[in-house]
Structure 1
Amino acid sequence: MLKVAIGHSNDPDSLAAVSEVLAQCQMTLAGQSPQAGLLFAAVDFNHHLVLEQIHAVFPQLELIGGTTDGEISSVLEFQQDSLTLILFCSDEIEFRAAVGRNVSQNPAAIASSTATAAKLHLALPLQLCIALPESLTTSTVSILQGLEAALGRIPIFGGATADQWQYQRTYQFFKTEVLNDAVPILLVAGKLLFSYGVAGGWRPIGKRSRITKANKNVIYEIDGKPALDFYHYYLNNAVPDAIHPLAVFPPGETHFFLRGAVGYDSQLRSLTVSGDVPEQAVVQITDASVADVVSASHTAFTEALATYPGKTPAAALFFSCAWRRQVLGTRAKEEYRAIAHLGHAIASCGFYTYGEIAPLRENGQTFFHNTTFVTLLIGSQ
């Protein structure tokens, strides 16, 4: 059996907030000791204090977390400037937290060695990995490549940490440590049941083209022509932005992930996107209404619920993009409300990220997404 406890506070005082969160969790746990947890916090909290308070109550907790662009839970729904914690208890599921530090020095190698070392401490079969990596100092795509090198086709879920659009420094949490330039992971093994759904709301339009020249997250040519010309052709010379992300079909894939534009070079006619892209990937420009964006959370949750292999999940984890929150504005709260009635009995927790992590399809490769909503449902056998 998997038991879950969630606490969520929007008190601006760090001590008051973490005290409220811990009290809520302890009430649900009713004396049980959790093995692991995920902490999502606004960037302005005293994170050292928060982690010390959690450690004082649960000293053996396998805890990871990070800073956000907004927080979601079944306790307070969508919030900004808040603190939320989800805790896991099970005698049939094993959890192991680990962290790779100074990940920008060699993201793939550090991520791989971190996951490899953590696997050695597992006695049960590994089921999935949750990763909450740095987003500003290095390539999240390279981090995922390193994790996959160590884990194989074990699915990875999560999101890149955020700092409320300051784009200065995000923080990652590992037990009592507050870090940056790090990749904390939580390996989950044993008799775990899970399913997931991924949706953005944006739909591809226009003809399919191919990236013919790119370097990491800079696209130089599409169909042998300047990338910026491709963008301008469909958007009437508009400045590239996240409102019309690219649908990227990796080589060999029929599903796509989204890449939002973060800049361009008017002389080189190149396009910079929020995440590495492979050469020879097929791309299309996309379009969406606000209603389409809101309904994507419903789509992702419904997809996960339809494929869940058990009766009722114990918890739902949500990872939604900070760009989605910007596009939705005051309607951001509708993302959670669009699914609350479907999973009203399911404890839920999540955050707004600088990029989401999930496979495109079952048993497929894990990818880094933009402007996307990811639902992960978990339970026990």
Structure 2
Amino acid sequence: MLKVAVGHSNDPNASAAIDEVIEQCMQSLGGQVPQAGILFTAIDFDHPLILERIQDVFPSIDLIGGTTDGEISSVLDYQQDSITLMVFCSDQVEIHAGLGRGVSKDVVAATQQAVTEAQSKSKLATKLCLTVPESLTTSGVRILDGLKQALGDRTLIVGGTAADQQRMQHTYQFFRGEVLSDSVPILLFSGDVLFSCGMAGGWKTIGKQGIVTKVDSNILYEIDGKPALEFYLHYLGAPPSDEYPLAVYEPSGQKYFMRAPNGYDNDTGSIRFFTDIPNQAQVQMLEASREELLSASQISLQQALDTYPGNEPTAAVLISCASRRHLLGTRTEREYQTIKKNLAKNLPCCGFYSYGELAPLTPKSETYFHNETFVTLLLGVQ
């Protein structure tokens, strides 16, 4: 058995909102006590109050979460400035939380700390890791690499980095009753859990491929031995923007992950991206229409449905990118509405808009860090 409940409120008052969210969850649970949960909230709420209320009602819950650039649920669809909570009860699946602190100081130590803490609570092999880590103090790629090192290659890692409504100043992560920054909270799933993942962006390549010949973490200086800015100007006739992300091909050259530009320097010809780009990687320009962006959510869902190993999933976690929300504008709500019609009517769904997504390029491949994608995670039991 896996019972999942979702609550969602757009009441601007934190106290009223979290009371409404908890009441919705309790009605769905029918007296069962959740063992774990994941919380997504807008940046301006009173987060300590919210966590205190959850701990008061569910004192033993292993809770993680973070601040967002928008929230999604099966209760209120897409919202901004809201609170949504997904909680889990199961006698077949063990779900345990862990936390790594000070990730900008030592990413390997922080990710190992999170994994060790969560795994110490179970003797079963870890199958799935769900995370909502810091996004502004360190590289999301390095956080993912640290989690891979700590978990090994048999654990799927899925998640999204915390956000702050594109202020780029300060994000918060949640762990039980704590409000933190510069941290890595995780939920580890073991036991009879079933899951599948889909990821899509809706983008298409334009122009020729180039080779990264000079890069420093997320600052791209040269492509094919020339200033990176020239590469953009050649194909766009305009400076970089999130409307034209960069495709970065994985080593086989068959699939790519995306990097969104976050500024440029005319003097050096360099382009700053939201996170790291590998040296000597093949790269190519991308473009998409608004309708193609919207179709990506359906493609992501279909990938997850096609590869789900059970009969019917019990819940869905949805993660989209803040840049997608920016580009879609008033049409953002259609991302969830597009997939809602193909989900079971009462399937609990919860998710958020992030500063970077963690998901495999294909359903059974290695996890990469992405920008400007839509990720679907389906959960259930045998």
TM over 0.5: yes
TM-score (norm 2): 0.98
Q: Is structure 2 residue 110 aligned with structure 1 residue 97? A: no
Per the alignment, in what secondary structure is the counterpart of residue 162 of structure 2? coil
Q: Which residue of 2 aligns with 1:348?
A: 349
Give me the whole-angstrom Cα distance separating, in 2, the residues matched to 1:356 and 1:15.
30
Give me the whole-angstrom Cα distance separating, in 2, the residues matched to 1:111 and 1:293.
32
CA drift of 1:363 comes to 4.0
Give me the whole-angstrom Cα distance separating, in 2, the residues matched to 1:364 and 1:307.
12
CA drift of 1:282 comes to 1.0
CA drift of 1:48 comes to 0.5
Give me the whole-angstrom Cα distance separating, in 2, the residues matched to 1:364 and 1:223.
29
Q: Which residue of 2 aligns with 1:320?
A: 320
Give me the whole-angstrom Cα distance separating, in 2, the residues matched to 1:253 and 1:68.
33
CA drift of 1:118 comes to 2.4
Q: Which residue of 1 aligns with 2:362?
A: 361
CA drift of 1:93 comes to 0.4
Q: Which residue of 1 aligns with 2:85?
A: 85
Contact 2:247–2:285 (Cα < 8 Å) also in 1? yes
Give me the whole-angstrom Cα distance separating, in 2, the residues matched to 1:124 and 1:106.
28
CA drift of 1:107 comes to 1.7
Q: Which residue of 2 aligns with 1:182?
A: 183
Q: Which residue of 1 aligns with 2:32?
A: 32
Q: 1:53-81 CA deviation, whole Å, 9 max, x = no partner?
A: 00011111010000000000000000000
Per the alignment, in what secondary structure is the counterpart of residue 104 of structure 2? helix
Contact 2:164–2:171 (Cα < 8 Å) also in 1? yes
Per the alignment, in what secondary structure is the counterpart of residue 167 of structure 2? coil
Contact 1:250–1:278 (Cα < 8 Å) also in 2? no
Contact 1:107–1:139 (Cα < 8 Å) also in 2? no
Q: 1:306-363 CA deviation, whole Å, 9 max, x = no partner?
A: 1111111000100100000000000000000000000033210000001111111244
Q: Which residue of 2 aligns with 1:222?
A: 223
Give me the whole-angstrom Cα distance separating, in 1, the residues matched to 2:278 and 2:167.
28
What amino acid does structure 1 have at the position aligned with 2:127? Q
CA drift of 1:117 comes to 3.6
Contact 1:247–1:285 (Cα < 8 Å) also in 2? yes
Q: How does 1:169-318 map to 2 (within 5 A)?
A: 169-236=170-237, 238-318=238-318
Q: 1:131-151 CA deviation, whole Å, 9 max, x = no partner?
A: 101111111111111110011
What amino acid does structure 2 have at the position aligned with 1:122? S
Q: Is structure 2 residue 125 aligned with structure 1 residue 139? A: no
Contact 2:304–2:363 (Cα < 8 Å) also in 1? no
Residue ranges of structure 1 left out of the alignment (5+ in a row): none
Contact 1:108–1:144 (Cα < 8 Å) also in 2? no
Residue ranges of structure 2 left out of the alignment (5+ in a row): none
Per the alignment, in what secondary structure is the counterpart of residue 134 of structure 2? coil
Q: 1:233-260 CA deviation, whole Å, 9 max, x = no partner?
A: 1001x12111000011122352111111
TM-score (norm 1): 0.98
Q: 1:268-287 CA deviation, whole Å, 9 max, x = no partner?
A: 11111111011121111001
Q: How large is the Cα RMSD of the aligned pairs?
A: 1.0
Per the alignment, in what secondary structure is the counterpart of residue 60 of structure 2? coil
Q: Point out the more displaced range, 274-283 or 102-111.
A: 102-111
Give me the whole-angstrom Cα distance separating, in 2, the residues matched to 1:57 and 1:320.
30
Per the alignment, in what secondary structure is the counterpart of residue 293 of structure 1? helix
Q: Which residue of 2 aligns with 1:41?
A: 41
Q: Which residue of 1 aligns with 2:75?
A: 75
Q: Point out the more displaced range, 268-277 or 59-68.
A: 268-277
Give me the whole-angstrom Cα distance separating, in 2, the residues matched to 1:110 and 1:252.
30
What amino acid does structure 2 have at the position aligned with 1:197? G
Give me the whole-angstrom Cα distance separating, in 2, the residues matched to 1:222 and 1:68.
33
